[in-house]
Amino acid sequence: MQLPFFITVLIACLVHAMPVAAVPTRRAPNPNPGMITMPLKRLHNPRTDIHPQLLLQQHINRGQRRLARMAGRAEPSDHELRENLNKRMFMLENGPGSRVPGSTNDAVVSGSNFSRRRFRAGMAAAYGNSAPGGHHAKPAKGGAAMGAMNGTAGNTTTTSSGNVTVSGNGTTSANSTSSGVAEIDIQAATNGGLTPANAPTANNSLGLDIEADDVGYIATIQIGTPPKDFKILMDSGSADFWVGSENCQTATEGQSQGRRAQPQSGGGCGNHTFLGTQSSSSFVQSNQQFQVQYGSGAVAGVICQDNVNIAGLALNNHTFGVAELETVQFSGDTTPFDGLMGLAQSTLSEQNVSTPVESLASQGLISSAITSFKISRLADGLNDGEVTFGGLDATKFVASSLVTIPNVNQQGFWEGAVDAFTVNGTDAGLTGRTAILDTGTTLIMAPQQDATTIHQMLGGACDQQQCTIPCTTTSSLAISFGNASFAIDPRDLAVLPLDPNDPTGDCTSGIQAGSVGGANEWLVGDVFLKNAYFSTDVTKNQISLAKLTTS
């Protein structure tokens, strides 16, 4: 297929896009809030092709890239990120703590059918080998196209027989760490898909469905005429809103350093909902192009206008983007959302347009450009995740605990000064730190030395590959903002067992080292945000945090 020249140029830009940089602006407040709620529906798309630990490494890689971009620093190279995945694969193959990485592959696994099957399948998928069982899976040197850029590609039809077996049961383990990681989390990590949220408890709000085991948070909005449902990742760490175009194609990126990525001919963009003139009579697109590079994945497309409905609030003829090229992180069938809504400040917008919440405020549909998040935890079983526009949902937090702090970021991210990090109340002695609060990042990325310090206190450890922590940890890390301390539930610190059959052994930590960020800058994602009510205000350029009513 012949692509327009600009698309070809954009593809070339996708791999090494310029870091975002912009000057903050202020927008005028507007009175008159509206009032509505929205239903949600379930999408279940089992992801049986990838070992959960590989998915986790992808989140670590994603966090590293994202932090690098946010800090305006050189990103880790594709080679480095692939190495991370390679190491993780060897670790899985040999079982935790068993063999030296790089030794022969026909090694003992950790006594687990799960490990072997998933590992094989993960290898097969990662290397583009779709043979059932993945018998040709073999770590290749250099040439294999895989890693953070392609880890979610490939066939999802393999290894349906690989049942997960864990000791303990979900009911008893869900609220305590004594039996290690909850079965519900291990299963969700394996299956992917969405766990639907309950109906929101405030007006101007959308439920946030949980992707896999607390990997991402997704709301349903309507676009077009007639209105169609789109599932949208809600991301406080970027500022562009886009959905896939009816003409969308999948682009691959990062096959090797410096090599130009190529679109897959006729690949489409997976089993998603798309927008265009065929499905929407009110859709108009321009020739103006945009492209956005994320921590993992990238999109390129054109600016468009169409009617958007968010929690019953109608943004008619709203300006946003349709993606004509998506990398597989977005286009893959197992990606359970159709687009992304950036809710940082529009100073960061690659599309040079207002974010939806800014537009809602400027049109007077909400009283102020406030976005508030209740990030829910799958293991709680409450499914009470919610994003609220124009205010805070008073039922979700303890009013007396609300603190408001200035946004210290000059570019338009949401970043707060950290007073202290404490482990069980003991100050870790880390001063002068700041934290970017990002719903679109799963984990917490800390500067290397900080990560090491914290893990020493937590009884975990960080090595070159990753930070680990006992799955049964009862230690709590708290982060203080505005003189208020927010403790992270120990369940959120132990993300996933290194060996899925041993949920009480060592776990990958929810805090990883992001050596590419600023020396004092943390990127704080959902591992923390599950433990606080989080609200942002564009007009006042400030952040609020409060203790949750349920904790």
Where on the chain is the footprint of ligand NAG (CB under 6 A)? 35, 43, 111-113, 128, 130, 145-146, 149-150, 153-155, 157, 161, 163, 169, 171-172, 174-175, 202-203, 252, 255, 271, 288, 290, 303, 305, 317, 319, 333, 351-352, 380, 382, 405, 423-424, 459, 474-475, 482-483, 550
Supply the minimum distance, in Å, between the C-beta of residue 35 and ligand NAG.
3
- Supply the DSSP symbol for 397: B
Specify the length of the chain in residues: 551
User: 113-126 and 52-70 are packed helices; what angle lies between their axes, rounded to 10 degrees?
Assistant: 50
- CA–CA dist 369, 365 (Å, integer): 10
Least distance from ligand NAG to the Cβ atom of residue 303, Å: 6
Closest to ligand NAG by CB, 101 vs 267, is 267
336: amino acid identity, one letter: P
Between residues 54 and 67, which has the closer beta carbon with respect to ligand NAG? 54
Taking the least distance from each CB to ligand NAG, the nearer of 410 and 550 is: 550
Place of tokens 């896939």: 244
Strand 444-446 relative to strand 511-513, pairing: parallel
Q: Of 154, 542, 512, whose CA–CA distance to 369 is shortest?
A: 542
Q: Residue 64 or 187: which CB sits closer to ligand NAG?
A: 187
Instruction: Name the residue nearer to ligand NAG (CB basis): 34 or 515.
Output: 34
Query: Cβ 445 to ligand NAG, closest distance in Å?
Result: 22
Q: Please spell the DSSP secondary structure of 96-147, one letter per residue.
A: TTSS-TTS-SS---SS-HHHHHHHHHHHHHHTT---TT-TT--PPSS-S--G
Question: Does residue 204 contact residue 366 with C-beta atoms inside 8 Å?
Answer: yes
CB 2 to ligand NAG: min, Å: 21
Nearer to ligand NAG, 75 or 350 (CB): 350
Placement of tokens 């992001």 in the chain: 514
Q: Report the nearest approach of ligand NAG to the CB of residue 402 (Å).
A: 11
Residue 240 or 438: which CB sits closer to ligand NAG? 240
Our CB check for ligand NAG shows the closer of 305 and 515 to be 305
Half-sphere exposure of 224 (CA within 13 A, CB side): 21
- Distance of closest approach, residue 46 Cβ to ligand NAG, in angstroms: 10
Decide if 341 contacts 234 (C-beta within 8 A). yes
Residue 318 is inside which H or E element, if any?
Answer: strand 313-327
Contacts of 407 (CB under 8 A, 6+ apart): 414, 415, 416, 536, 541, 542, 543
CB of 342 to ligand NAG, least distance (A): 14
Least separation in angstroms between CB 17 and ligand NAG: 12
